[in-house]
Amino acid sequence: MSQADAPVALDIDQLSVVFDTPDGSLAAVNDFSLAIRRGECVGVVGESGAGKSQSFLAVMGLLAANARVSGQARLGTESLIGRDVAELNRFRGVKLSMIFQDPMTSLTPHMTVGEQIAESIIHHLGSSAEAARARALALLEQVQVTDAPRRLDQYPHELSGGMRQRVMIAIALACDPEVLIADEPTTALDVTIQAQILALLATLKRERGMAMALITHDLGVVAGIADRVAVMYAGRVVELGTVHEVLKAPKHPYTAALLASMPRIDDAGTGPLPAIGGQPPNPRRLPSGCAFGPRCAYADDACRAERPSLIGPSSIEGTRSVACHHPLDGTRHAREST
Amino acid sequence: MTEPLLQLRDLRVWFPVGEGLFRAKRNLRAVDGIDLQVAPGEALGIVGESGCGKSTLARAILRLVRSSGGQILWLGRPIEGWSTARVRPLRRDMQIVFQDPLASLDPRMTVGEIVAEPLRVHARDLSRAERRERVVDMLARVGLPADVVNRYPHEFSGGQCQRIGIARAMVLRPKLLVCDEPVSALDVSIQAQIVNLLQDLKRDFGMTILFVSHNLAVVRRLCDRVLVLYLGKPMELASTDLLYSQPRHPYTQGLLAAVPVPDPDLQPQRLGGALGGELPSPLAPPSGCVFRTRCAHAVAACAAAAPQLQPVEGGHEVACDRWRDIGPYGATP
Ligand SMILES: Nc1ncnc2c1ncn2[C@@H]1O[C@H](COP(=O)(O)OP(=O)(O)OP(=O)(O)O)[C@@H](O)[C@H]1O
Ligand SMILES: Nc1ncnc2c1ncn2[C@@H]1O[C@H](COP(=O)(O)OP(=O)(O)OP(=O)(O)O)[C@@H](O)[C@H]1O
Ligand code: SF4
Ligand code: SF4
Ligand SMILES: [Mg+2]
Ligand SMILES: [Mg+2]
C-alpha cells in the first residue's frame, strides 16, 4: 500500500524552538518541516540533544516556559502553534496523542490502570463510568496486555515496564487519535519487549490508519516500522526520505557514518568499528557552516563557510531531501564511508 | 590449557526478601548455579534480559556482594569466604567500569585525582612524579590529553567521562576488567569509540574482560565467548561465533531475533518473530526449565526437571533437553 496520496494528518512547517536561558538563548530546533500522512509512520532519529523531542513537544504545546516557538503545525485544518491550553485540550489526547520513554512518569501512581484509562475516556468522550470501564478493558486487550480484567484494578508499580508502556499506548488510543507521537517508546525496555511493542505499534498503525511519528536513536527500530525517516543533527533535519532511500543508500555523510558505526547483530566482523570521531556539537557553540563539519570526512572550505540548506526532492531523484554540499552518490555502501 | 584466571563452581547469590509485612522472608535467586572457567586474556560477554542476574554475577566475582553458595577461584585459590581485608590486595587485579559514567566519578575530585586514586591505595611506593606519569600515560592511552588532569568530571561529555572511568580502572593494569553496561548510556556515535578503545586496550594489555551488556550486537563485536543468563541460571555458553551463528537454546534464539537490524528489507519480518511473554517473577520461578513459560518448544517433561548445561560441540554448552530436536537458528543466515 502506498501512503503517497493519503491526506496529510500532521503538517509541520518551518518550526523553530529557542530557549531563553541565563547563559543566553539556545536554538534547539531550526526550520523543522515534515508532513505525515494518514497511515504513515515517520521515524525521527538523531543523537541526544539533536532536537527530536523538542520538535514534537512544540507540536503538542508542551514546551517548557522558557521556550519561544515560531513556524506552524497543523492538524488537518486546525493550527496548533500559539493556541492556549483550553483550545489545545480539544485536540490533545483526542486527535493527537503522545507517549514517552518512561511510562512511570506519565502514569499517576495512586490511580489504578482502569481508572486512568477510563478518566481519559470520560473526560474527552463524555462516556458513562460503566461504558468507560468496558472500553478500558477492550483497549487493554487490544494492546495485548495479558490478564486484562485483573490489570484494570492494579496500580502502575505492580506492572512491568513493558506492561506500563502498553497501558500508556492504551490511554493514547482511547479516543482514536489521528496522530500518535511516540518519543523513544521502547528505549527503556529489553530488546524482546521492544520487539513486541514495535510489532503492536505497526499493527495499530495498519489497522487504524493512524499517522505516527516515532522518535528514536536506533536506526534498527526505524527500519522495522517506519515508512520514511528524518535524520536530525544539531537541531536540523539533515536527511529525509523513505527508509529504503535513507538506510540503503544514505546521501548525508552523517547518516552514512552513523549506519557504519553501529555494530550489527548479523555482522560477524571483529575488527574496529568505523567510529565517528569527536563529540556531538554543543548547541550553544555550533561551528560555522555545516554543523557536522568538524566530524565529517568530506568537509572542505565550502562546508566551513556556508551552512548547507535542506534541498528538497525536486532537485534530487526520488523523494529524498538532504542538507549537504557534497552528498554521497547514494550507491556507496554505508560501510565504506568515512 | 593455561590455568584459568577465574573459576566459578555452582556459584549462587540469593537475596532474602520480605514479601509484605508479616510474611516470611523468601530467597530471590539472583544467581543460581553458575559453573564457568575464564582464561587469561579472554573477553566473556554476559547477556540476558533485565533482572536476569548479570550485574549480581559480576559483583559477586568482584566480591562486592556476598555469594550464598558455591566457589569462586581466583588463580586456583578459593576466595569466596575471604574477609574484606583479605580481599583488598586482590582489588588491584580486578577493576570495574560502570554504566553511568558521570555518576561513577566523584564530582569533587579532579580527573587527575580520580585516575590516581587506585595508585594511591594499591601502589603506595610510587613517588608523586611517578604516579603523575602513570596517570598521564593512561589518560593518553584512553584518548584524553594531559591537560584534563586539573579539570572536573562535570566539564566532560558522557563519552569522555567513560574514558576517564576506563583510565581509572586500567591504571593498575588489572588482570580482570569488569564492564557493566559500559556503553549503554552513551550516544550511538560515541558507543563505537568506546568499543574500539576497549578492543585496543585488550589487545595491548591482554587483560581478561567480563562484559555485561544487553546490547547483543556490541557483545558480538567485542567478546570471545558469551554466557546467556535467564532468571539467574545459565542457558547457553559458547564461543561468540557459535552462539551467534548456531544458537541452540530457544531463549538465545529469541533474544537474537529481537535485536533490530537497520535494514528495511529484513527488519519488518524480524519483528514478527519476537519472543513472546515476559520474565516471570524471580520470587516464583517456573518449575523444571525456568524458560518454559515462554518457550515455543516446551513439552510436559520440561516442567518436571531443570535441564543441566550439556555439551554440544567445541565447548558449546546448552541447558535444554530438546536441543537436538530444535536445531540451530542464528542471526547470520
Ligand atoms: N527548557 C530548556 N531550556 C534550555 N534548553 C533546553 C530546554 N529543554 C531542552 N533544551 C535543549 O534543547 C536541545 C534539544 O533537546 P531535545 O530534548 O529535543 O533533544 P533530543 O533529540 O530529544 O535528545 P534525547 O535523545 O537526549 O532525548 C538540547 O540541547 C537540550 O539541552
Ligand atoms: N540487593 C538486592 N536485594 C534484593 N534483590 C536484588 C538485589 N540486587 C539485585 N536483586 C534482584 O536480583 C535480580 C538480578 O538483578 P541484577 O541487577 O543482577 O540483574 P541484571 O541482569 O543486571 O539486570 P539489568 O539489565 O536491569 O541491569 C533482580 O530480580 C533484582 O531485582
Ligand atoms: S556539508 Fe560538508 S561538512 Fe557538512 S556533511 Fe556535507 S560534506 Fe560534510
Ligand atoms: S528444556 Fe523445554 S522449555 Fe526449556 S528451553 Fe528446552 S524445550 Fe524449552
Ligand atoms: Mg528526547
Ligand atoms: Mg545490571
Ligand showing the shortest atom-to-Cα distance for residue A52: 1
Minimal Cβ distance to B262: which of A190, A259, A270:
A259
Q: What is the ipTM, given to two decimal places? A: 0.91
C-alpha to C-alpha distance for A156 and A152, rounded to whole angstroms: 10
Distance A45 CA to ligand 3 centre (A): 18
Give the residue ranges of DSSP H helices in A62-112: 85-88, 103-106
Interface test with A, best of B194, B243, B261 (most A CBs within 10 A): B261
C-alpha to C-alpha distance for B41 and B2, rounded to whole angstroms: 11
Cβ–Cβ pairs < 8 A, chains A and B: 152
pLDDT digits (tens, 9 = 90+) for A258-314: 999 999 999 999 999 999 988 889 888 899 999 999 999 999 999 999 999 999 886
Q: What are the backbone dihedrals phi and psi of residue A119, each rounded to the nearest 5 degrees, phi first?
A: -55, -45
Give the residue ranges of DSSP H helices in B33-127: 54-61, 84-91, 111-122
pLDDT of residue A316: 59
- pLDDT of residue B208 exceeding 80, the answer is yes
* The residue to which cell 540533544 is assigned: A49
Return the C-alpha cell found at B227. Answer: 554466557
pLDDT digits (tens, 9 = 90+) for B132-189: 999 999 999 999 999 999 999 999 988 999 999 999 999 999 999 999 999 988 988 8
In this prediction, residues A217-230 reach a mean pLDDT of 96
Split at pLDDT 50, 70, 90, the class of B84 is confident
Who contacts A138 (Cβ-Cβ below 8 Å, separation ≥6)? Answer: none
Which residue CA neighbors atom 19 of ligand 1 most closely?
Answer: A49
Who contacts A127 (Cβ-Cβ below 8 Å, separation ≥6)? Answer: A121, A135
Please report, in angstroms and rounded to a whole number, the separation of the first and last CA atoms in chain A.
36
Q: Where does residue B20 rank: exposed (0-12), middle (13-18), buried (19+ CB within 10 A)?
A: exposed
Who contacts A337 (Cβ-Cβ below 8 Å, separation ≥6)? Answer: A250, A253, A256, A257, A260, A274, A297, A328
* The residue to which cell 530546533 is assigned: A29
Q: Among positive and negative, which fits the CA dihedral B89, B93, B96, B102?
A: positive
Strand partners, A223: none
C-alpha to C-alpha distance for B232 and A55, rounded to whole angstroms: 42
Distance A72 CA to ligand 3 centre (A): 28
Single pTM value for the model: 0.93
pLDDT of residue B81: 86
CA distance B160 to chain A (A): 9
Note residues around ion ligand 5 (Cβ under 5 angstroms): A 53
pLDDT of residue B23: 66
CATH superfamily of the domain spanning B6-326: P-loop containing nucleotide triphosphate hydrolases (3.40.50.300)
Instruction: Please give the C-alpha separations between residue B168 and each of B65, B134, B138, B161, in angstroms, as whole numbers.
Output: 21, 11, 8, 11
CB A213 within 8 A of CB A56: yes
Residue of B nearest to A160 (CA): B278
Return the C-alpha cell found at B113. Answer: 585525582
pLDDT digits (tens, 9 = 90+) for B272-324: 888 999 999 999 999 999 999 999 999 999 999 999 999 999 899 999 999 99
Q: Check pocket membership of B286 for ligand 4, CB cut-off 6 A.
A: no
**Nearest residue to A40 (alpha-carbon basis) of A177, A226, A173, A312:** A226
C-alpha to C-alpha distance for A148 and A159, rounded to whole angstroms: 12
In this prediction, residues A10-30 reach a mean pLDDT of 96
Minimal Cβ distance to B189: which of A222, A248, A258:
A258
Residue of A nearest to B278 (CA): A193
CA B52 distance to own-chain centroid: 11
pLDDT digits (tens, 9 = 90+) for B220-268: 999 999 999 999 999 999 999 999 999 999 999 999 999 999 999 999 9
Q: For chain A, what percent of residues have pLDDT higher than 90?
A: 80
pLDDT of residue B180: 95
- pLDDT of residue A168 exceeding 50, the answer is yes
Query: Ligand 2 — pocket residues by CB below 6 A?
Result: B 15, 17, 28, 30, 48, 50-56, 214, 282
pLDDT of residue A315: 57
**Nearest residue to A174 (alpha-carbon basis) of A132, A129, A111:** A132
A191/B192 CB distance under 8 A: no
Note residues around ion ligand 6 (Cβ under 5 angstroms): B 55
pLDDT digits (tens, 9 = 90+) for A232-244: 999 999 999 999 9
Ligand 3 pocket mutation pick from A290, A328, A332 by most atoms within 8 angstroms of CB: A290
Amino acid, single-letter form, for residue A147 = D
Return the C-alpha cell found at A205. Answer: 498503525
Residues of chain B contacting residue A160, judged by C-beta atoms under 8 Å apart: 278-279
H or E segment to which residue A124 belongs: helix A113-125
B264/A225 CB distance under 8 A: no
Ligand 1 pocket mutation pick from A15, A19, A183 by most atoms within 8 angstroms of CB: A19
